[in-house]
Each structure stands twice: as C-alpha cells, then as structure tokens.
Amino acid sequence: MMVRRLFVSLFSIGAIVTTVNVTASANEPIQPIKAVKPENPDLVELGKMLFFDPRLSKSGFISCNSCHNLSMGGTDNIPTSIGHSWQQGPINAPTVLNANMNLAQFWDGRAADLKEQAGGPIANPGEMASSHNLAIEIVSSIPQYRALFEKAFGSDKVDIDRATTAIAEFEETLVTPGSRFDKWLEGDKKALNKQELEGYKLFKSSGCTSCHNGPAAGGTIYQKFGVYHTYETESKIEGRKSVTGKDSDLHFFKVPTLRNVELTYPYFHDGAVWTLEEAVKIMGKVQLDIDFNEKEIASIVAFLKTLTGEQPDIKLPILPPSNNKTPRPEPF
C-alpha cells in the first residue's frame, strides 16, 4: 500500500519514476525486461551476420535464423526442427528471444551459456552438419568478414571462439521489453484488462510462478515435467538426465520462458501441443494436479498473451560474397 501511494504521488516526476517502478513490481514473481544497449556494436553486427549466414551449414542453406527465426518469435513454429537433408530433430527449438536470461542453454542445460550453445548446431550432423573447422575456413576466406573481425576484436583472426562470441553477443540484444504485462508491472494499471489480471492472479495463486518466474517468466531452474502425473509423449528425450547421468534427473528440463509464448508455438519439448489452452490445461494437471476449468484457462491464456513484447528491430544483414577460395557448400 505504501509503495502504491508513493508511486501515485510521484507519477509525473519522470526521473524518479524509474526507481519507484522497480519498487512497484518488486514483490511480483515476474520482473520487467530491460532493453539492452550493446557495449560493442561492431561485435553485435558481426554476430548478426553470422546468425543469418547459411554458410555456417554444410548445405549452405541453414542458418541460425532458420530455426530461431526472428520473424517468428525466435522459433521455427514446427514441432521439431528440420536439419541437414531434412532430418527430423529430436526436440522443439527453444526461442532465442530473452535466452540470455536462462541459467543454461538447450532444454537439458547442456551448454553453460549462449556462446557455448552457438557452437552446437553448427557441428551437429542432424542440424547444420558442418564442422567448426569448415565453418571457420569459410568465414576466414572472405576478406570482408576478416575486416569485421578486426573491427570487433582488434585483429582479423577468425576462430570458433570469436565467431560464437559474436553470435552470443548478438543474441544478448534479442530481448523483448515493452510488453503490456511489463507496462502493468511498471505502474500502468490500465495496461491489463480484468480477464488478464484475473489470469495473472490465478497464475500466481495456482503455483505456476514457482517455476515461471524472473524477468523471462522461466529459465531460472530445472524442473521435472510430470510432477503429479506423467506427461504422455512419443518423445524419447530424457532431459537433464542425459547431462548428469542421474536417474533422478529423468524428464527434468530447464523451465522454458513464457515471454512471447503466443509466438513460440507449438509447445513443450516435443512440440506436440499447438494451443495455449491445451498447454495450460496440461500444465495444470501434470505439474500442479489442478483441473482448470474453461474460464480459468481462458483467463490464464489471456494473461500469457500480455507477455508478448516488442520484437527486436532487425535490419537484414547483407552478407559478403564467397570468392574463389571459399569452400563450397554441399547441399546434396
């Protein structure tokens, strides 16, 4: 109450409002997302180019953006991804948006951070099917790229460490502030309607926020999928167990972010569920042993849709051409 009154009385004093807003949302389990101002814009720009460059794949056809499409919430919007030679991936591609807030990367947390993650798909035979050596040979054969490494790192050496550092630095900028929910958190009490607010209250009181918390509304812990009831799936994915080797980690996954969840369908690690209504119903049952009724589901879904933030403003990069020395793609 104290906090709320303070907020109202200072509403028109711009310079102080920021501080007060933080206070306003301090007791909420989900915190607002802050915009990111990159320290090294040259590094970010280089990372963006690499993120969009399909020459990091064996075929010359698949880029990071193929499965983490920034036109589509940083995902591919299909159950599991398409890899080299149209191989079917084993798991749903997580969004790259706000991924810097995850405690680790991939559903099973097998990469410590974005940089480590970025190297994975390049060399995965089922994904981009290249190798770090080949990808680096391609990039370093292109003088325009070498000049950009020089600009970003101070020397024109191209290696996988630098390339993945650049991609990660670009991904650090892929945050989505400005959602209606964040406006509400920051004090604009009209930003949510009655149904959305009811949904948020129910989301909290039901226990969803014990996992979906922090600025990303997820990404802060591992949790078992199927706490009260088994989640029925055809997927053989073991989750965290495949990293730790512990049976007790079977079907533990990094809790996915709910930011932009309206854009990141289909849902769950198997991508088997297409609607938010069904996803909420299942989560209530298997994780909390709650049978939400239709009205409750509708209100939680209405709340979830307020988590869609401003999407990153991306100018499509123009990639420097290969030349006579550049290793050629092998699409077939």
Catalytic residue set: 127
Binding-site string for its own copies from residue 51 to residue 70, where x marks contact by CB under 8 A and - marks none: -xxxx---xxx----x--xx
Neighbouring residues of 255: CB distance < 8 A, sequence distance ≥ 6:
211, 212, 218, 219, 220, 221, 222, 223
Instruction: Give the residues across from 9 on adjacent strands.
Output: none
In the region spanning residues 88 to 147, those forming contacts with its own copies, defined by CB under 8 A, are: 88
Instruction: Report how far residue 256's alpha carbon sits from residue 241's, in angstroms, rounded to the nearest whole number.
Output: 17
Per DSSP, the residues of 250-283 read TTEEEPPP-TTTTTS-SBTTTT-B--HHHHHHHH
Q: How many residues sit close enough to its own copies to count as binding (CB under 8 A)?
A: 42
Instruction: Report how far residue 128's alpha carbon sits from residue 91's, in angstroms, rounded to the nearest whole number.
Output: 15
Binding-site string for its own copies from residue 288 to residue 317, where x marks contact by CB under 8 A and - marks none: -----------------------x-xxxxx
Q: Does 71 bind its own copies (CB under 8 A)?
A: yes
Token output for 319? 């990639």
Angle at 257 between CA 75 and CA 79, to 5 degrees: 35
Q: Does 86 bind its own copies (CB under 8 A)?
A: yes
* Of residues 80 and 105, the one with the C-beta less far from its own copies: 80
Stretch that binds its own copies, among 19-27, 101-109, 242-250, 320-328 (CB under 8 A): 320-328
Binding-site string for its own copies from residue 244 to residue 263, where x marks contact by CB under 8 A and - marks none: ------------------xx
* Residue ranges in contact with its own copies by CB under 8 A: 52-55, 59-61, 66, 69-73, 76-79, 82, 85-86, 88, 262-263, 265, 274-275, 277, 311, 313-319, 321-322, 324, 328-329, 331-332
